[in-house]
Structure 1
Amino acid sequence: MLLAETLLLKALAIPLLAWIAWFDFTTQKIANRNVLLLLGLGAGSLLLLSLQAGSWWDMGLCAMAGLLLFVALFPFWALGKIGAGDVKLMAVVPFLIGGHDLILFSVLLLVFALGTAVVVKIPFMLPQGAFRLYVQYLDRKGVVPFGVPISLAAICTILFGIYETLVVATSSGILDQLN
């Protein structure tokens, strides 16, 4: 039964991540309350998985990854190259996705970050309209809303994890036992 609650907590994080991406794109800010909500959802999900598995390895791995990301990105914030909300969001993401999906998240983050940088730096590739004007404004301002690719990569990783869990649960008969 803990599996269903874990999946529910992960699913609840998806709209919050979408909200963070939109809010960061429009205002270049990530609210602390949203990051704390994500931390609560992620830590709760990991706690349930740890209780089910009887091992705290994944929880410890995620805590170490979050701390490492925070420490590694903090100097970039101090130099003004990245926002404080982006640093905090990156530190919380390992709790959301779990230790086993960190590589997938890293690859997706690289792809989405490169895509975001290309769109912001070369806005003439976009169709005419308000979106293009706003992206040109971001380019003139010298800002890249990094919360957007972080959120997109986290959403895709969470969806993949949910799909993978459901496939394993279906093939092993766990879902049949719940009914």
Structure 2
Amino acid sequence: MAVAYQIMIWFCFGFLLYLAWQDFLTFRIRNRDVLIFSGMVLALLALRGFEGALPDVMAGLLLFGLGFVMWLLGAMGAGDVKLYLPLGVFVGWSMLPIYVVFLLLGSVLLLMSILAARRFPSEKGLLRARLTKIARTKGVPYAVPMAFGAILTMLPHAIQM
């Protein structure tokens, strides 16, 4: 069971990278993709026999609630808010403080990249061109630091089992 759990975590990492890339390119997170990730997280819960599921669901609800407030204030898109529910369950209550630190770190790195692209715009290369375009808009691909934080938080669980 532990090997299956570990493999599923790696699948979740891959899907989070996909979601982050899609959000980076389009500023969109599809409902379908949130449902797929939710199913993956549900499978993780099932693989561990739903042990400790309630606190982890509470973590998801907390992140969803905070995201919902940000959405009401116009600071975050609805797709990011919906992603927070399964992402919080994935990270879990016990790892939430560590996730917040990595989320903050990822957010600062993304902000610095956007500010650098604003100061030194370039259309060379996909990444720099997209950062330059993001710098011209008011949109922020929040799934990028969200995925960064979740992957770094859960990496020890994926490696040590």
Decide: shared fold, TM above 0.5. yes
CA contact (8 A) 2:61 2:88 kept: no
- Divergent runs of 4+, >3 A: 124-128
| 2:115 counterpart of 1:121 | yes
2-structure distance, mates of 1:16, 1:70: 19
Could you tell me which runs of 5 or more consecutive residues in structure 1 were left unpaired when the two chains were aligned: 167-179
How far does residue 125 in structure 1 lie from its aligned partner after superposition?
Answer: 6.0
2-structure distance, mates of 1:30, 1:87: 10
Q: What letter corresponds to residue 158 of structure 2 in structure 1? A: I
Secondary structure of the corresponding residue to residue 49 of structure 2: helix
CA contact (8 A) 1:86 1:147 kept: yes
CA contact (8 A) 2:71 2:81 kept: yes
Aligned residue number for residue 10 of structure 1: 9
The count of aligned residue pairs is: 159
Identify, as 1 or 2, the structure richer in helix. Answer: 1
| 2:61 counterpart of 1:62 | no
Could you tell me which runs of 5 or more consecutive residues in structure 2 were left unpaired when the two chains were aligned: none
2-structure distance, mates of 1:140, 1:126: 9
Q: Map 1:21-170 to 2 at 5 A.
A: 21-50=20-49, 56=51, 58-123=52-117, 124=119, 129-130=124-125, 131-164=127-160, 166=161
- Tell me the alpha carbon deviations over residues 112-146 of structure 1, each in whole angstroms, 9 at most, x when there is no partner: 01110111123246877233332122122111111
Range moving further from structure 2, 28-37 or 125-134: 125-134
1-structure distance, mates of 2:121, 2:99: 26
TM-score (normalised: structure 1): 0.80
Aligned-residue RMSD, C-alpha: 2.0
Which has the larger Rg? 1
2-structure distance, mates of 1:25, 1:102: 24
Q: What letter corresponds to residue 129 of structure 1 in structure 2? A: K
Secondary structure of the corresponding residue to residue 50 of structure 1: coil
TM-score (normalised: structure 2): 0.88
Secondary structure of the corresponding residue to residue 142 of structure 1: coil
CA contact (8 A) 1:46 1:98 kept: no
Q: What letter corresponds to residue 146 of structure 1 in structure 2? A: Y
Q: What letter corresponds to residue 32 of structure 1 in structure 2? A: N
